[in-house]
A = this chain, B = another copy of it.
Amino acid sequence: MEHVEKYKIFQKELVGTKDGNPFKDITIKTSFINENEKIETEGFYKGNGLYAIRFMPQKTGKWQYIVESNDPQINGIQGEFICDEASQKNHGRVCLKKDVMSKNEINFYEDDFHFAYEDGTDYYPFGTTCYAWINQTAKLQEETLQTLKHSPFNKIRMCIFPKYYSYNTEDPQNYAFIKDENGFDFTRFDNTFFENLEKRIQQLDEIGIQADIILFHPYDRWGLSKMTKQQDIYYLSYVIRRLSHYKNVWWSLANEYDLMPQKSIEDWDEYARVIMKYDVYGHLRSIHNCIPFYDYHKSWITHVSVQRVDVYKTAEMVSQWRDEYHKPVIIDEVGYEGNIDYGWGSLTGQELTRRYWEGCLRGGYLSHGETYVDKGPTIWWSHGGKLYGESVERIGFLKKILEEAPQGVKPLKLTAENHEENWDSICLCQQENWFLYYYGFFQIMYRNYTLPQGKKYKIELIDTWNMEIKELPEIYEGKIRICLGGKQYMAVRMKEI
């Protein structure tokens, strides 16, 4: 019998009719049944008389399936397969941490702001942005994957539709829709395009990267941002039926929804319902703004995915947005390292790294992007290719530091007692056992701390820019003064001994 690894895809290709427009005319629903449950997924037409049914089993053991279709060639097809245990690096989908933690382990309140794989393994999103990478040449796509493989990133924001914007104005080779000299046929999907997209999603999965798929966006000269509502829903239904079986997909309904005034707020809510209908797994869902925030309180939104609100500060807003939305906060555009002719894309490596520390220590997450116009033939944020910036390695350093943190860390709460020592810094801590302070662009020479009574600590100085960790030889207790050396971008880690 066929075997499929848990959280991977069981797929069958079926031969059916080519008559009419099977994309539109043929329904194909498959029930996957194990001893306890029955899950129905809708299949899709690939073209040339070929159909596919897909399923991502989340339970091991034997599964049976049976197809229902209005195409008699397909209707009634059935079979079975065995779902095996997941292999070591396969943790399933990324979920909200609160949804996967066993109830006796959950860290109430703080876990609401974080993610975990469905097997309970922690997942800290450290994303990057290559909007149009799948719309570049195959060679460039391969190069992007190579770069990603050797980067600290574990999520990528990427569009399905091509992007038309400064530094990126070329036509792609294929589109989601079939196109001829008369333009797009919005009722027929291009299998070549989707097979490549799926291959890339799978390759991302192999290197541990979540594909944060942007379903609509405004940077368009092909008319793809201005389809009718009916066309949008038809497109969404197809995309979700094809892609939702990949464990590493997230749905971002839009990049900068507010730059698409032709779609109303109610439209987006309706599109969310379409996604939820066809995605039987419940992958993470959000929507990204340019200026006005979407109402991230809405229940279909699993996490906040926002843009910087200010030329100067945004990562600093994480605390406020956590309080406001009570969901994980990802600042998906906090500004990019580079030297492009826009304020959002001309940050130094220092500043982007600072924003990362600032946002992460406040209990949020950020996405990276790179916009150097003069370093190579492509610009990462749009095309992919190579990374040239200085922040990438430092973001990796921060990621490692956060991965090493004990379970249950959360941002230090300012109180009347600790205010004087902490109002001008940020701190992640675990009870009184572990503290990670960060001082941003300040160049402090000495700093005073009042350590919790009766406890002893080892202290490390972390130079977050030079990525050096220096353990101080002493053991500390009570009121202490630590020399930080008058350097910028310093952090201090304290561990109770």
Using a CB–CB cutoff of 8 Å, the interface residues on chain A facing chain B are 310-313, 316, 339-344, 346-348, 351, 373-374, 423-425, 439-448, 486, 488
Please tell me if the beta carbons of B441 and A351 are within 8 angstroms of each other in the complex. yes
By secondary structure, the A interface counts as loop
CB distance from A294 to the nearest CB of B (A): 21
- A290 to chain B minimum Cβ distance, whole angstroms, is 12
Please indicate the chain B residues that have their CB under 8 angstroms from the CB of A348 in the complex.
441, 443, 488
Among A348, A351, A439, A442, which residue has the most Cβ atoms of chain B within 10 A?
Answer: A442
Distance (whole angstroms) from the CB of A375 to the closest CB of chain B: 10
The residues of B that contact A441 with a CB separation of less than 8 Å are 347-348, 351
Counted per complex, copies of this chain come to: 2
A-B contact pairs, 30 of them (CB 8 A): A310-B313, A311-B316, A311-B424, A311-B440, A312-B312, A313-B313, A339-B443, A339-B444, A339-B445, A340-B445, A341-B445, A341-B446, A341-B447, A341-B448, A342-B424, A343-B423, A343-B425, A343-B439, A343-B442, A346-B439, A346-B442, A346-B443, A346-B444, A347-B441, A348-B441, A348-B443, A348-B488, A351-B441, A373-B446, A374-B445
From B343, B344, B486, A339 is in contact (CB under 8 Å) with: B486
Contacts of A340 in B (CB 8 A): 444-445
Whole-angstrom distance between the alpha carbons of A374 and B484 in the complex? 13
A442 to B340, CA, bound (A): 9
Give A483 Cβ to nearest chain B Cβ, in Å. 10
Q: Which one of A310, A347, A439, A486 has the highest number of Cβ atoms from chain B below 10 Å of its Cβ?
A: A486
Cβ distance A284 to chain B, nearest Cβ, rounded Å = 30
Which residue of B313, B373, B443 contacts A347 across the interface (Cβ within 8 Å)?
B443
Task: Let me know if A343 and B486 touch, CB within 8 A.
Answer: no
Q: CA separation between A348 and B442, bound complex, in Å?
A: 7
Complex: how many Å from CA A141 to CA B366?
50
Q: How far is the CB of A88 from chain B (nearest CB, A)?
A: 43
